[in-house]
Structure formats: structure tokens, C-alpha cells
């Protein structure tokens, strides 16, 4: 029996999960920026995957969204590794 390694050719930025989480909680980017103290430009960059989720940002998201910091950091790590592999 042959096995094939799982190597996706796509990468989903953590911002996609962030956007879904915000929508589920009825939050807009303005709301998240205000609640976390992050600038609106920063929030939009996170949502687009243009800005990495740092440990500090992950803590802010945990505090304001109720999602633990570790999953945010894991999503970020996976996204950056996959984008490096795809290029």
C-alpha cells in the first residue's frame, strides 16, 4: 500500500479564522480595534494575513474574543510555514 505525505499547496491566513470568530461574536474590525487597543490598520492587516499574529496580539485576542492564545499562534506558524513552502 502506498502512502502519500500530506502537503497542502494552499495556506489560510489566521485572519480568516479571526474574521469568522469576529462574525460569530457580532464584532466589526472597528470593534476589535477598540477593544484590543490595536489600530484599525493593524486589525485589517491581521485579517488579510499581511501582519503576523505575535504573542502579544494572541494574548489580546484571547482576552477579547475568549479564544486561547495558543491556537492563534499555531495558525500563524502553519500559515507562515506553508507560504514559505509554496514559494
Q: What is the pLDDT of residue 85?
A: 73
* pLDDT computed for residue 84 by the predictor: 82
Q: Domain boundaries in the chain?
A: 14-86
| Radius of gyration of the chain measured on its C-alpha atoms | 14
Within the chain, which residues score under 70 in pLDDT? Answer: 6-10, 86-87
Per-residue model confidence (pLDDT) at position 83: 84
The correct CATH number of 14-86 out of 2.40.280.10, 1.10.260.40, 3.30.360.10, 1.20.1090.10 is: 1.10.260.40
Q: What is the structure's pLDDT at 87?
A: 64
Res 7: pLDDT = 67
| Terminal Cα-to-Cα distance of the chain (whole angstroms) | 31
Amino acid at each position: 500500500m502506498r502512502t502519500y505525505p500530506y502537503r497542502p499547496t494552499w495556506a489560510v491566513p489566521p485572519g480568516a479564522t479571526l474574521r469568522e470568530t469576529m462574525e460569530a461574536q457580532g464584532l466589526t474590525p472597528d470593534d476589535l480595534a477598540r477593544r484590543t487597543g490595536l489600530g484599525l490598520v493593524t486589525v485589517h492587516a491581521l485579517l488579510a494575513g499581511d501582519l503576523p499574529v505575535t504573542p502579544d496580539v494572541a494574548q489580546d485576542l484571547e482576552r477579547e474574543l475568549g479564544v486561547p492564545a495558543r491556537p492563534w499562534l499555531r495558525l500563524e506558524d502553519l500559515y507562515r510555514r506553508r507560504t514559505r513552502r509554496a514559494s
